[in-house]
A = this chain, B = another copy of it.
């Protein structure tokens, strides 16, 4: 479904969001450890997310990644996926046609649109705030 980049990115951001309340920055080592991902690779991904203002970071001692209150409320999973996968997930043709639309549809076009729309809505409606709730932290896992 998603690329590794996107999977690690989502897990990392969710984890950072869950730590947001402590108001402490969290380092890449801790993050990679918490979500069980390759550290250097995850660092690259977070670099990209920082550039795109999904998460914030600060260098130096006691530095690390964090998410401010505003982003916690405004960022949804959709935003993260957009940065890491572009919008091909939402616009790409199920059969891989370069142009596939209502005028020149592939045989699956209209059926696919439905599924994708569901996915999009789900990602749009899932906010970092929701995923950083106490219940979410205790009931769900980011590694196994």
Contacts and interface: CB of A to CB of B under 8 A. Distances in A.
A40 interface: no
A11 to B, nearest CB: 5
Q: Interface centre among A11, A89, A109, by most B CB within 10 Å? A: A11
Interface stretch (A22-30, A43-51, A63-71, A135-143): A135-143
B144 A107 contact: no
Interface in A105-122: 105-109, 111-112, 114-115, 118-119, 122
Interface residues of A, number: 40
Contacts of A59: none
A96 interface: yes
Contact of A126 (B2, B14, B111): B111
Interface of A: 1-2, 4, 7-8, 10-11, 14, 77, 89, 92, 94-100, 104-109, 111-112, 114-115, 118-119, 122, 126, 131, 136, 139-144
The 4 closest A-B CB pairs, nearest first, are A7-B96, A107-B140, A99-B144, A111-B122
